[in-house]
A and B are shown apart, each in its own frame.
Chain A
């Protein structure tokens, strides 16, 4: 602790002596354990029953999948499957498993385990069933070969197999133990769950049988739940933690000046936008929606509030695979915005309201900036702060005019976010805006049946262009996720899917 000064050891000693606190609390952490501060505890370690980030993070340390996203999020790389081939008609996937992949109890990972785990993931019990349902047949060829067959081509399936919900579990153990398996889970990932105190965190230890040689570099990790943003930052500064995630933007700057701390920013697949309810006047008019986009100075918001940690957005898809970098964000152009308002029949502007999540300081600031910008073209926005969970259901029920929100992608394939934010009807009626483009729907169906490659890329780029022009949202930005670590830590990274990886971490 660099800030320790002369009176401190005395004070500390006096207090501890008085309370007879064990010396263990003072002992420095062992160099080979890594202490990470996160904002929420995992709810479950059953991969088919999780939808919260903390559970997903834990599962990714303990389980392995057939394939996984590369660290830069641009392609899929081998996981438990060392190679795979896809039949020319796109309906058959043949995976060859690594012969040296083992579960942490020493049992080999077999094709039967893969078939069991994926069938479980597409069963009625699974919250993720629809991601795996396109696979209609599993054929275990031998211990290390499995062939999966689809009724019709479905290109996103390979990406779905990289999801945590496609984690490979030991079939015999899960069948024998049922739900009790998840009290002491066995996986083939880099770590083993040693203990878990609810609400407090988890202790992980290195999986001695992990197939990636020489990894993990640390003997173990302790993941500590620190819900309060400031406490997490203070614990890192005090040396009680080695790294933290979800550093608030305004604290990232001040952390950079701490000589013992390094701050990183991860580009993540997240898009922030204002949903516009296109069933309500005047948002049913495209010119009005475009006017709102022209009225906003995105660069100023990014610079002033997000301290430069974001890129202005062009559509409802963040910068990820197949993104069209030639497409530019709506520029700030008040004259054009006013002309478009006039074209839309509201030349003097109008009064409206915007839902804003109550718990998030950054979002409240962004909302005020949007309010101030739109006032310049005569659009008077009343801000309505609302609790997170209520915001989602209020917009879903269509009972809103504007709503400041965001969407994140679980996979590195834009298919998931397109389905969510642009297609109607589908999962969310274009993220509850009710905006509809028949051409987007057509392209979505086509993209899902087109093999990965330039043709699929063109389809996504056309979708992006149509969403950009149709403007069912005010497109804001794709933010980076700041994280921080002590200077003696290397290899801690936050991936574009906003998940972190601990297998490369080194504590010096």
Chain B
């Protein structure tokens, strides 16, 4: 099965999953106390004003009708209109998608840069001082809540040694890279703590395999043995750990984006929930779901590239 066909069939399988997610998101929002009209009018609204706005927003219609119009908005790709922003949701989601993707992408790159050399080194030098030090450092990093780690690193690297900006997103792409580096490192530390452990144990297992002995017996240099034979055969389980964790990170951007003032989907979700901006929260839920599914799809494709024995089916 080729990659395109595989991807298309996976995207088709996504339809029932998304339907379920839209229904749950839709219903959960409606059982939450608080409604958009009351929140928008606040102290100014009379009961008549609130009723009029509720009608204007179409929130007085039966639930099933509201759900159907939400689905038809998704099919048309518009996601409807945001109650708070009073604009089409589609462009808003796209505008806020890039900072989140950049943050998640950059943190994944950083995690990989930390993972591969450290996991290989600690696997080869098992139980050395360096092995224990790496283990200790990453367990400590993983145990600290990201916002706490964020505040500590900001104090150190933005105030005491002003290398990075305190928060924000920057204006051009280099400026953005500068702004995103610190939050991406914080996310990457959490990811690397898991992937280093996973890759290290796979490498240890593979190091004892017969084909590694064979490769060495053929007289291949140790570097080639490690890179071509050991690493490649160890990566598959780490890819799934990375995929699962990255899916989790996408949800976790809510915290990091708020702490670092990054205008991504996570910070948009926080503000839209407090405004009870139903259509926007629904649109965001669907976007998050699609992102998670896409990451898992990418992981499956990556397996097949790393290990051709894995077939895409």
Partners in one complex: yes
Residues of A within 8 A of B (CB): 1, 3-4, 7-8, 11-12, 15-16, 19-22, 24-25, 40-41, 43-44, 46, 49, 51-52, 127-128, 130-131, 197-200, 224-228, 230-231, 234-235, 237-238, 240, 387-390, 392-394, 396-397, 407-408, 410, 416, 420, 426-428
Q: Do the beta carbons of B42 and A392 come within 8 Å of each other?
A: yes
Q: How far is the CB of B83 from chain A (nearest CB, A)?
A: 10
Minimum C-beta distance from A309 to chain B (A): 23
Question: Nearest Cβ in chain B — how far from A174, in angstroms?
Answer: 15
Which listed residue, B32, B34, B86, B162, touches A238 by the CB 8 Å rule? B162
Report whether B263 and A225 are in contact in the complex, using a CB–CB cutoff of 8 Å.
yes
Known: A426-B46, A427-B43. A21 touches B86 (CB 8 A): no
Other-chain contact of B161, A7, A16, A224, A227 (Cβ < 8 Å): A7
Q: Say yes or no for B245: interface residue by CB 8 A criterion.
A: no
Nearest CB in chain A: distance from B79 CB, A: 15
The reply to whether A4 and B162 contact each other, CB–CB distance below 8 Å, is yes
Task: Check A234–B159 contact: CB distance below 8 A.
Answer: yes
- Measured between alpha carbons, how far is A380 from B167 in the docked complex, in Å? 43
Digit string of B255-297 for contact with A (CB within 8 Å is 1, else 0)?
0001111011001101100111000000000000000000000
Complex contact A227–B43 (CB within 8 A): no
B201 at the binding interface (Cβ < 8 Å): no
Given contacts A51-B40, A198-B96, A224-B168, contact A21 B178 (CB under 8 A): yes
Tell whether A234 pairs with B154 under 8 Å between CB atoms, given A21-B177, A44-B86, A127-B41: yes
A20 to B274, CA, bound (A): 39
Which B residues are CB-close (under 8 A) to A131? 44
- Is B194 located at the chain interface by the 8 A CB criterion? no
Which B residues are in CB contact (< 8 Å) with A396?
A: 38
What 3 pairs between A and B have smallest CB-CB spacing? A199-B263, A389-B34, A393-B34
Q: Are B95 and A198 in contact (CB under 8 A)?
A: yes
Q: Which of A24, A226, A392 contacts B39 (CB 8 A)?
A: A392
On whether the beta carbons of A19 and B85 are closer than 8 Å, the reply is: no
Q: Is A3 a contact partner of B159 (Cβ separation < 8 A)? A: yes
Taken together as a complex, chains A and B put the C-alpha atoms of A57 and B257 apart, in Å, by 23
Closest to B84 in A: A43
Tally B residues with Cβ within 8 Å of A.
Answer: 59
With known contacts A44-B86, A200-B263, A427–B45 Cβ distance under 8 A:
yes
Is there contact, CB below 8 Å, between B33 and A393?
A: yes
In the complex, residue of chain A having the shortest beta-carbon distance to the beta carbon of B91: A198
B244-261 CB contacts (< 8 Å) to partner A = 258-261
CB of B94, distance to nearest CB on chain A (Å): 11
> Does B28 interact with chain A (Cβ within 8 Å)?
no
Docked Cα-Cα span, A141 to B189, in Å, equals 69
Contact B44 A51 (CB under 8 A): yes
Q: Which residues of B contact A (CB under 8 A)?
A: 32-35, 38-46, 49, 53, 84-87, 92, 95-96, 99, 151, 154-155, 158-172, 174-175, 177-178, 181, 258-261, 263-264, 267-268, 270-271, 274-276
Give the Cβ gap from A238 to chain B, nearest Cβ, in Å.
Answer: 5
Partner of B43, one of A21, A198, A428: A428
State how many angstroms separate the Cβ of A452 from the closest Cβ of chain B: 22
Q: Closest B-chain residue to A8, C-beta based?
A: B161
- Max count, chain B CB within 10 A of own CB: residue among A46, A237, A240, A389: A389
> A389 to B40, Cβ gap below 8 A?
no
- A-B pair count, CB < 8 Å, reads 158
A sample of 23 inter-chain contacts (CB < 8 A) reads A7-B161, A12-B161, A22-B174, A25-B165, A25-B174, A25-B178, A43-B86, A127-B44, A127-B49, A197-B263, A199-B263, A200-B168, A225-B263, A227-B258, A228-B259, A231-B259, A234-B155, A235-B167, A235-B168, A389-B275, A389-B276, A396-B38, A416-B43
B41:A51 contact, CB within 8 angstroms: yes
Q: Is the CB of A392 within 8 A of B34?
A: yes
Expressed in whole angstroms, the minimum distance between the Cβ of A386 and any Cβ of chain B is 9
Shortest Cβ distance from B268 into A: residue:
A199
| Chain B residue, CB-CB nearest to A226 | B261
B145 to chain A, nearest CB (A): 14
State in angstroms the CA–CA spacing of A158 and B11 once bound together: 59
B166, A44: Cβ atoms closer than 8 Å: no
Residues of B near A240 (CB, < 8 A) are: 165-166, 168
Pairwise interchain contact A228-B261, C-beta atoms closer than 8 A:
yes
Closest beta carbon of chain B to A4's beta carbon, Å:
7
Asked whether, in the complex, the Cβ of B175 is within 8 Å of the Cβ of A227, the reply is no
Q: Which of B38, B167, B174, B268 has the most CB of A within 10 A?
A: B167
User: Cβ of B261: which chain A residues have Cβ within 8 Å of it?
Assistant: 200, 224-228, 231
CB pair B85–A43 under 8 Å, yes or no, is yes
A49 to chain B, nearest CB (A): 6
The smallest C-beta distance from B149 to any residue of chain A, in angstroms, reads 14
Assembly CA distance A399 to B235 (angstroms): 56
Complex: how many Å from CA A237 to CA B281? 35
Contacts of B44 in A (CB 8 A): 51, 127-128, 130-131, 410, 416, 420, 427
B302 to chain A, nearest CB (A): 26
Q: Given A24-B172, A392-B38, A396-B38, does the pair A11, B161 have CB atoms closer than 8 Å? A: yes
Q: Are B177 and A19 in contact (CB under 8 A)?
A: yes
Q: Is the CB of A12 within 8 A of B162?
A: yes
CA–CA, A225 to B271, complex, Å?
A: 13
Partner of B168, one of A226, A393, A410: A226
A226 and B42 in contact, given A19-B181, A234-B154 (Cβ under 8 angstroms) = no
Q: Is the CB of A238 within 8 A of B166?
A: yes
Known contacts A25-B175, A228-B258, then 7 further A-B pairs from the complex at CB < 8 Å, ordered by chain A residue: A4-B162, A8-B162, A22-B174, A197-B263, A199-B263, A200-B168, A428-B43
Residues in chain B near residue A44, CB distance under 8 A: 85-87
Which residues of chain A come closer than 8 Å to B166, judged between CB atoms? 231, 234-235, 238, 240
